[in-house]
Amino acid sequence: MLQVLTIFIPMLAAILVPFFYKIMKNIHTGWFVLAVPVTLAIIYSTYIAKVMEGDVFSATLPWIPSLDIVFVSYLDGLSLLFSLLITGIGSLVVLYSIFYLDKQKEKLHNFYVYLLLFMSAMLGVVQSDHLITLYFFWELTSISSFLLIGYWYTRDASRFGALKSMMITVGGGLMMLGSFILLSIMGNTYSIRELIGMMPDLAQHPFFTWALILLLLGAFTKSAQFPFYIWLPDAMEAPTPVSAYLHSATMVKAGIYLVARFTPIFAISELWIWLVTGIGIVTLFWGSFFAVKQTDLKGILAFSTVSQLGLIMSLLGASAVAIHSQNAPEAIKYAAFAAIFHLINHATFKGSLFMIAGIIDHETGTRDIRKLGGLMSMMPLSFTIAAIGSFSMAGLPPFNGFLSKEMFLTAMLALRNFDFFGFDTWGTLFPIVAWLASIFTFVYSFYFVFKTFAGHYKPEQLPRKPHEAPIGMLIAPMLLALFVIVIFFIPNVIGDMFVKPAVQAIQPFLYDTPAAVDIHVAAWHGLTPELLMTIGIVLIGVLLFVSLPKWQSIYQHFPQTFTLNNAYDKFMVGLDVGLNRLSRRYMIGSMRHYLLYMLGSIAIIVIASLIFKDAFTVSFDDVAPIHPYHIILIIVLVIATIMTMLVKSRLAAIIGLGAVGYTVALFFVIFNAPDLALTQLVIETISVALFLLVFYHLPEIKRKSATAPFKIGRILISVAVGCMVTLVALSAHSQKLVPSIAKYYEETVHDLAGGGNIVNVILVDYRGFDTLFEITVLSIAGMAILAMIKLRMGKKEGQHENK
| Tens-place pLDDT, residues 212-235 | 999 999 999 999 999 999 999 999
Last residue of a domain, one of 737, 757, 789: 737
pLDDT tens-place string over residues 569-615: 888 888 888 888 888 887 877 787 888 889 989 999 999 988 888 77
Residue 761 and residue 663 share a domain? no
H-helix or E-strand spanning residue 762: none
Asked, for residue 487, whether it belongs to a domain, the answer is: yes
pLDDT value at position 209? 94
pLDDT tens-place string over residues 492-520: 999 999 999 999 999 988 888 999 998 89
Residue 707 and residue 757 share a domain? no
pLDDT tens-place string over residues 355-373: 999 999 999 999 999 999 9
Amino acid identity at 626: I
H-helix or E-strand spanning residue 190: none
Query: SS3 sequence, 271-329?
Result: HHHHHHHHHHHHHHHHHHHHHCCCCEHHHHHHHHHHHHHHHHHHHHHHHHHHHHCCCCC
Residue 477 and residue 385 share a domain? yes
Residue 582 and residue 482 share a domain? no
Please state the domain count of the chain. 4
Asked, for residue 469, whether it belongs to a domain, the answer is: yes
Asked, for residue 644, whether it belongs to a domain, the answer is: yes
Residue 524 and residue 617 share a domain? no
Contact between 92 and 351 under an 8 Å Cβ cutoff? The reply is yes
Count helices and strands in the chain by DSSP H and E runs = 34, 2
CA gap 15, 109 in Å, rounded: 10
CATH number for the domain that contains residue 624: 1.20.120
H-helix or E-strand spanning residue 563: none
* Coil, strand or helix at 38: helix
Cβ atoms within 10 Å of 514's Cβ, excluding its own: 24
Strand partners, 62: 70
Task: Reply yes or no on whether the pLDDT at 679 is more than 90.
Answer: no
Residue 438 and residue 334 share a domain? yes
Last residue of a domain, one of 737, 766, 794: 737
Asked, for residue 136, whether it belongs to a domain, the answer is: no
Chain-centroid distance of CA 217 in Å reads 13
Residue 430 and residue 387 share a domain? yes
Of 244, 221, 25, 27, nearest to 115 by C-alpha is: 244
Residue 604 and residue 579 share a domain? no
CA gap 238, 101 in Å, rounded: 12
pLDDT-based confidence at residue 293 (cuts at 50, 70, 90)? very high
Asked, for residue 634, whether it belongs to a domain, the answer is: yes
Task: Reply yes or no on whether the pLDDT at 803 is more than 60.
Answer: no
Phi and psi at residue 296, to the nearest 5°: -95, 135
Q: What is the mean pLDDT of residues 311-321?
A: 92
Asked, for residue 296, whether it belongs to a domain, the answer is: yes
Contact between 112 and 17 under an 8 Å Cβ cutoff? The reply is yes
Last residue of a domain, one of 546, 572, 607: 546
Contact between 301 and 321 under an 8 Å Cβ cutoff? The reply is no
CA gap 472, 95 in Å, rounded: 8
CA gap 28, 32 in Å, rounded: 8
Which domain, by its residues, includes 474?
275-546
Task: Reply yes or no on whether the pLDDT at 119 is more than 90.
Answer: yes
pLDDT value at position 423? 65
Q: Tell me the pTM.
A: 0.82
pLDDT value at position 471? 92
CA gap 372, 391 in Å, rounded: 20
SS3 breakdown of the chain: % helix, strand, coil, rounded to 5? 75, 0, 20
CA gap 252, 301 in Å, rounded: 13
Between strands 69-75 and 57-64, the pairing is antiparallel
Asked, for residue 190, whether it belongs to a domain, the answer is: no
Residue 729 and residue 601 share a domain? yes
Task: Tell me how far apart the 2 most distant CA atoms of the chain are, in Å.
Answer: 105
Which of 201-205, 304-308, 318-322, 616-620 has the least mean pLDDT? 616-620
Query: SS3 sequence, 601-652?
Result: HHHHHHHHHHHHCCCCCCCCCCCCCCCHHHHHHHHHHHHHHHHHHHCCCHHH
Percentage of residues in the chain with pLDDT exceeding 90?
56
Task: Reply yes or no on whether the pLDDT at 312 is more than 90.
Answer: yes
pLDDT-based confidence at residue 328 (cuts at 50, 70, 90)? low
Residue 601 and residue 501 share a domain? no
Residue 506 and residue 402 share a domain? yes
Asked, for residue 382, whether it belongs to a domain, the answer is: yes
Residue 527 and residue 413 share a domain? yes
